[in-house]
Amino acid sequence: MRFKFSILALLLEVCIIVLFGIFVEYGDHSASETLYPVFQDVHVMIFVGFGFLMTFLKKYGFSSVGINMFIAALGLQWGTLIQGFLHTKGEKIPVDIKSMINADFSTAAALISFGAVLGKTSPLQMLILTVVEVTIFAGNEYLVTEILQATDVGASMTIHAFGAYFGLAVTLVLYRPGLKNKHENEESTYHSDIFAMIGTLFLWLFWPSFNSAIASETIYQLKAIVNTYYSLAACTVVTFALSSLVDQRGKFSMVLIQNATLAGGVAVGTCADMSIHPFVAMCIGSMAGIISVLGFHFLTPFLASKLNIQDTCGVHNLHGLPGILGGIAGIVVTAVKDEVRQGVHFTPGMQAAALGSTIGIALVGGALTGGILKLPFLGQASDQNCFDDSVYWEVPEEEKLHEIHANNYDGPTRFEATM
């Protein structure tokens, strides 16, 4: 990895710097004072929230936070260029606070996909995935917002559903039969779950900013904040209740609390800025919590055992299913309410087309990307070295325990603990 990763990363950064020098210029900063606090919130979610949420694996904390940072730093630069090329149609790309928020959004899709393949890919593979996925994401986002003219202010479809199904397609193509009987490092410890909960809390607190960041007017931004706030609150209560209910001993599951409590923010995203009333937002959040908990409890084991989809972080339950729910909510709301933004009248037909095309493009794009990542010269860790920081990181001496990884390990995985 020493030369392949370093040379490719440096060459790519040089190319990006040159492209910035040719095509990028300062944009309109009239809204900087009002948007910068929101940008800070979104930025923290990307670099701290997503990163720490994935630190639950007992020996993969360095990679969870570190590779998350690398993906985000690379993705936001590449996203600025690709989104700029698509939306400016050959003119100079203006960068301002809003474009920086959109650049962060483009990295979020790649980070969600990272969660699906966490512990099973090399840094070089993640570099390739980031560049390819951000490019496809930008194309799909342009299709949804400019061509279909659908609304998705909180990106339930374009970020969450897209990132989840893109990642699931990648992990299906990269399926490892040797990991079917579980891996001893694919589990959490008391302290690693505490760190992951820090990520959950950052995401939970700042999600109203995420869903309202690109709202077109102040009134719509306020509605997005209020709706997300109450959707998350209702989702959290329902998640705690169901977490105890589905456990045979009536105990709470940390994997559910870390993830399913956030599903309300995902599901309300598409219609967050609409006049749906807070009680409808709470209903959406409650349904998202139910779907997410049941997904972790029943669907994740089924996907792993029957369909060979090894979803490390359970992104299907946090982002995929709630993202689809958000898309459906957008279809229903635009069918019963007359919603217009900046002269564009939103219709249920276009909302449905946006949802369908997003999932289709994500699955096809993810499968093709998985095929690229499977190329032998890119290299990846062996099955026995998965979920282990010491393969790619310098770790403290006391952590360098190179045990022989038995494929017939019988300990419960993190998801089995929810059953």
**In this predicted model, what pLDDT tens digit does every residue of 316-362 receive, in sequence order?**
999 999 999 999 999 999 999 888 888 888 999 999 999 999 999 99
Residue type (1 letter), 150: A
Question: What average pLDDT does range 186-195 have in this prediction?
Answer: 91
CA angle 328, 330, 332 (to 5 degrees): 70
pLDDT tens profile 39-62: 999 999 999 999 999 999 999 999
State the pLDDT confidence band at 404, using cuts at 50, 70 and 90: very low
CA angle 257, 258, 264 (to 5 degrees): 75
As a dihedral over the C-alpha atoms of residue 78, residue 83, residue 89, residue 91, rounded to 10 degrees, the angle is -60
Q: Is the pLDDT of residue 183 over 60?
A: yes
Token reading at 83: 């989104």
- Read out DSSP for 343-386? TEEP-HHHHHHHHHHHHHHHHHHHHHHHHHHT-GGG----GGGT
As a whole number of angstroms, the distance between CA 362 and CA 157 comes to 10
Q: Is the pLDDT of residue 33 over 90?
A: no
Nearest to 118 by CA among 382, 396, 313: 313
377: number of Cβ within 10 Å = 6
pLDDT tens profile 163-182: 999 999 999 999 988 887 77
Q: Is the pLDDT of residue 403 over 50?
A: no
- Give the pLDDT score at 31: 74
Count the alpha carbons within 13 Å of 255 in the hemisphere toward its beta carbon. Answer: 27
pLDDT tens profile 96-140: 999 999 999 999 999 999 999 999 999 999 999 999 999 999 999
Contacts of 140 (CB under 8 A, 6+ apart): 158, 162, 357, 358, 361, 362
Nearest to 58 by CA among 217, 170, 186: 186
State the pLDDT confidence band at 294, using cuts at 50, 70 and 90: very high
Q: Assess contact for 295 and 314: CB atoms under 8 A.
A: yes
Distance set, CA 55 to CA 118, 160, 186, 414 (Å): 10, 20, 11, 13
The model's pTM is: 0.92
State the pLDDT confidence band at 185, using cuts at 50, 70 and 90: confident
As a whole number of angstroms, the distance between CA 207 and CA 204 comes to 5
In DSSP terms, 345 is beta-bridged to 340
As a dihedral over the C-alpha atoms of residue 201, residue 205, residue 206, residue 212, rounded to 10 degrees, the angle is 140
